[in-house]
Structures are given as C-alpha cells and as structure tokens.
Amino acid sequence: MPVAPASPSNNPLIRRLDNYARLSAEDRAAVQRLCAEKVQRFAAKDDVIREGEEPRVIRLVVDGWACRYKHLEDGRRQVVGLFLPGDLCDLNVFVLREMDHFVGAITALTLAQITRDAFEEATLAHPRLLQSLWWDSLVTMAIQREWLLNLGSRTAFERITHLLCEIFLRLRAAGRARGQSCEFPLTQAIIADIAGLSTVHVSRTFQAIRDERLVEIRNRVMTIPDIDALMAASLFNPNYLHLSHEGRHLDANDAPGDVAPTV
Amino acid sequence: MPVAPASPSNNPLIRRLDNYARLSAEDRAAVQRLCAEKVQRFAAKDDVIREGEEPRVIRLVVDGWACRYKHLEDGRRQVVGLFLPGDLCDLNVFVLREMDHFVGAITALTLAQITRDAFEEATLAHPRLLQSLWWDSLVTMAIQREWLLNLGSRTAFERITHLLCEIFLRLRAAGRARGQSCEFPLTQAIIADIAGLSTVHVSRTFQAIRDERLVEIRNRVMTIPDIDALMAASLFNPNYLHLSHEGRHLDANDAPGDVAPTV
DNA sequence: CGGTGACTTTAACCTATGTTGCGCGGTGGG
DNA sequence: CCCACCGCGCAACATAGGTTAAAGTCACCG
C-alpha cells in the first residue's frame, strides 16, 4: 500500500468529511493539524478508555480499528459501535462526567487526541469544518439506529451481511477501499459481539454467505464481488450513511481507490 | 392531574435539563419561550415526519409520547427511540438532507417547532443552556447504546423490565412520576417493536413479570412497587442516563412528584 | 521443528422465541 | 344497542439460534 506524499486527501477524516461538503484548502489544513496534535498508540485489545472514567479529550482514529462496547454484570458483552480509520469519538463528550461504556482497540491503533481548546479554536476559525463535524456526529447516531434495526429485526444472515456491507461502504467513503476489496481484521468472535450472536452461529452463517458467494474473506482482506447482490441479501438501504450529496449514488462505483474522479 | 400555574419547573424539558446543571431564571425563561414558539398537534399513530423528508426544524415534545421507527422492505418494523414529554429531537438535524427514519405519535401529541434561527438566538444568549442541550443530546446517544445492549444481549424478560425501568426513571427525571407510579400508554404491540419480540412473546413475558410482582400496569398507569428489585431483575445500570450530578443517587427516592426536595 | 495459543469448524442436543389461529372483553361509533 | 375493532390472553406447534465440547488449521516462537 504505497502512501502518496503530502496530499491531504490521504487523510481518511478529510476524505469522509468531503462526502458531506467540499472543504477548502485551509479547512483541510486545519484538520491535518488537529490530527497531528498529540498522537497516541495502542496494541490490539487494549482499552482506550474505560467505563467510569472521565472523558477529557476528543479522539480521532488515525489508523487501525476500534470499538465501543458495554457489558452486563454476568459477562455478556455487546459491541455498540465500530470506529474505522477517520472516525471521531463524540464531540462534546466533556459535558458528561463519566463514560458509560468502554472503547477498545481491535487492531493496533493510532489515535489523535484533540483538546477542547484546540477543537474550539479550529472550529471557530473554520465554520464549514464545524458543520462537517456535526454531519459526522449525526451520521454516527444514524448508524446506531440502523444497528438497532439490525439487532431487533434482521436474521443472523441479514445482520452479518448488512454489517459487511456497511463496513465496506464506510471504508470506501474514507478512501480505504480498492475496487471491490478492503481490509478486514475482524474475528468471528467480534462479529458475534456486534451482531448479538454466538460465535458458533457466526461460523455457521459465514458458510451460508460463502455458499452464496456474496463475500470472500482471506488474509484479512474482504472482497465483495457484487455489492448490489450483497445489499439485496441484507436488505441494505444506504440512506442512513447520508453519503448521497451531489447526486452521488452509492451503487455507482465511484471511489476506485486513489484515482481521481472523472468529473 | 392538576396543572400548577406559571411555575417554570412544570416544564418537563426544564426539569430534565436541571438534572444536568441548574439553569438561571433567564435560561428557564428562554426555554419557555422556545417551547411556546410554534405549537403543533398530532393524533395518536400519526406520523410527525417521514423517511425521505427534509428536516427543517428542531422539535420538542411538550406533551404526549412519540417514537422513532424504521422498517425493512418486507414490513418488519423496529422502534429505535422513544420520545417522552420534554424530549428533544436531534439538534442540528438541518445538516442532513433527508430523514432516514420516521417519527410517529404514540399518543395524542403536542410538539413545539423551533426554527434554526430561534435556536441559535437562544443558545447564543444562553451558553449554559446550550451546554445543557448538548448534555441532552449525548444522553440520547447513550440511551441508543443501551438499547443496543438490550437487543443484542438481554433476554426477553430482561429487555422488557429494563425498558419499564428506563421509562420510569426518565419520566421521573422530567417531573412526570408521582411516587412509584407514572403514566404508561404503551401497548404490547409497541413494546414488541421496541424490544424486537413478537406480541405473543411480550404477552407471555408480561405474565412472568406479573408473577414476580415487579410491575403493575392498570388503566395506562404503571406502578413499580420496588424499583431496586426491578433494576436487579433487568440488570439495570443507571449510569447511561447520566443523572447523577450533585452526588444525587437514583435509588434515593428524590423526586416525589411536585413536592420540593427536602434539601 | 515441535509447541502453544488464537481462531474456526463441526456435531449433537437444547431452548427461547416465533407463528398461526382462536377466543374474550372492553370501548367507541353509528 | 349492537357491531366492529382493538388490545390482550392462550394453546399447539415450528424453528432460529444457543450451548457444549472436541477437533482442525494456522501463525508465530523458542
């Protein structure tokens, strides 16, 4: 994976915010500065922040995957959110006194810590940026709602295919997909905790998915030969990702890696 | 239910925001003005806003119950959020171009519409109010996460008792409970759509709840004889409601209707 | 090169929850 | 006053998904 030099659009956060509104060069530079502010690294499976702790900074995923999770007294565990590169933890968390959930690294993880002051300074100077960040925050809420629909109403097969579909589209929006493929470091155990299933049943379900040749996962890389078929199988309605500005359509293959759009 | 005269603390939104930070008399007056701005009424089961429509205003529940819901192509329906009196739809919704879900009235409903301009004017003049509204918004997200835990990891019995517990505590925080009782207009069908269960199983589960004498529902009034027992049965951890400021504790019976606190 | 641990697969069996369908009682409209 | 409808309860049966346990695969490591 060759990393292009100083082009801002390699920054997955900028790529994502661009889905909402074109940022100016200054806006982009401001994001870059925020991302570089104070970098923090975690090993896979480490906790970034624990339930009960006081939130002090906004965190931004520069690289790697993480998740929010909760558990019940008796140990049952539920993943309630997924952070992909370019994702942002809640704006304004400072307002709360205490975390009500954990954030844990799934893979090796690089985070940027953004202080309240740096954030306020940046958004004051770049109102368009602030708008984009609100958009991001509302999309996060929309994803949570879609996950509720997933857990409450979809079958195991639909839940997992829906999840795979969402991950692919989110990564593509962050400039992290190439063609029909993207990185995929999730184990079946984590998928079980996301989908509210047992690991055994996740395994069973993956066989069915393989049988229908909807998805192929090998060496931590996921390939989706026919995204429309996958979307149909999972009853996937992309509206909740709110990516459709400029008349863009998700089923158009409009993000072919790092190639510039033809428009 | 006698309505006391002009006391601002009858406003459920003010009551709720007071859980986060004491508002000044001016802040309260500003909230009152927002609530009175433009009132809109709906009959039970009407839709307030539909998927695909453009969000233009912030809405505030003055009276009645409503819910957010989504559905799948084949008709399966999932309620993904509950609005109780004093609840607020998402700040900043304007940023999105299109609703990804429905909002529907459960009971007869009175809403206040707050325009973007009125909102900005009020929060500019009352920064403490803005903070409280962010707190509210973060609590809404926290509730969504807890619901994910509910659907993904709890049994039917736990899901329903947890829901009842949450409703009671939220109503109490809005000054809408009296002693161990509160209004309760939900049918078993709606509870089924919230909990991701069939109506038949909701009915079965309510029998078990009745057998254990955890909750009594009669004439649209719910009574919880022993909230600690109910919390234990549902593995309820109140931290996600973020009500605990000032060392307040939820298990203290600290909101006995409209009586002033003893402190 | 063999060992250890993390992940996945498989099989047998179990149970929570879904489905269908019917009956009952209250309530509101004509 | 009666009918229709809605919300609820109940029973019989069907099934998706959970549980337990054992074995297979692979990658890394000493």
The 10s digit of each residue's pLDDT in A18-29 is 988 889 999 999
Instruction: Provide the domain limits for residue A180.
Output: 155-234
How sure is the predictor about A252, in pLDDT bands with cuts at 50, 70 and 90? very low
Residue A215 lies in a domain: yes
pLDDT greater than 90 at residue A8: no
CA dist B8 and B25 (Å) reads 9
pLDDT greater than 60 at residue B262: no
| Helix ranges, A84-155 (H) | 116-125, 127-153
* pLDDT for the residue A106: 97
Least reliable range by pLDDT among A140-149, A196-205, B132-141, B239-248: B239-248
Distance B219 CA to C27 C1' (A): 13
CA dist B259 and B9 (Å) reads 11
User: Could B144 and A141 be called an inter-chain contact, meaning their C-beta atoms sit closer than 8 Å?
Assistant: yes
pLDDT greater than 70 at residue B255: no
pLDDT greater than 50 at residue B117: yes
Residue A57 lies in a domain: no
* pLDDT for the residue B3: 41
Residue B229 lies in a domain: yes
Residue A32 lies in a domain: no
* pLDDT for the residue B245: 58
Q: Give B215-228 pLDDT, tens digit per residue.
A: 999 999 999 999 99
Contact, B205 CB vs strand D, < 7 Å: no
* pLDDT for the residue A245: 58
User: pTM for the whole thing?
Assistant: 0.92
Q: Structurally, how many domains does chain B consist of? A: 1
Contact A242, A140 (CB under 8 A): no
Residue A261 lies in a domain: no
Contact, B187 CB vs strand D, < 7 Å: yes
Tokens of B56: 């233009």
Residue A101 lies in a domain: no
Residue A209 lies in a domain: yes
Least reliable range by pLDDT among A212-226, B143-157, B231-245: B231-245
Q: Residue A235: which residues within 8 A CB-CB, separation 6 or more?
A: A154, A158, A162, B72, B73, B74
Write the CATH number for B216.
1.10.10.10
pLDDT greater than 50 at residue B230: yes
User: Could B235 and A74 be called an inter-chain contact, meaning their C-beta atoms sit closer than 8 Å?
Assistant: yes
Contact A70, B146 (CB under 8 A): yes
A139-168 residues touching B, CB cutoff 8 A: 140-142, 144-149, 151-154
* pLDDT for the residue A90: 86
CA torsion B22-B87-B143-B128 (nearest 10°) is -30
Q: Give A76-125 pLDDT, tens digit per residue.
A: 999 999 999 999 998 888 899 999 999 999 999 999 999 999 999 999 99
pLDDT greater than 50 at residue B249: no
How sure is the predictor about A258, in pLDDT bands with cuts at 50, 70 and 90? very low
* pLDDT for the residue B141: 97
CA dist B28 and A33 (Å) reads 39
CA dist B54 and B41 (Å) reads 19
Please give, rounded to a whole number of angstroms, the shortest distance from the CA of B183 to a CA of chain A: 26
Q: Give A123-145 pLDDT, tens digit per residue.
A: 999 999 999 999 999 999 999 99
Which positions on chain D have an atom < 7 Å from some protein CB? 6-12, 16-21
How sure is the predictor about A262, in pLDDT bands with cuts at 50, 70 and 90? very low
pLDDT greater than 60 at residue B251: no
Residue A45 lies in a domain: no
Q: Residues A222, A226, A239, CA angle at the centre, nearest 5°?
A: 90
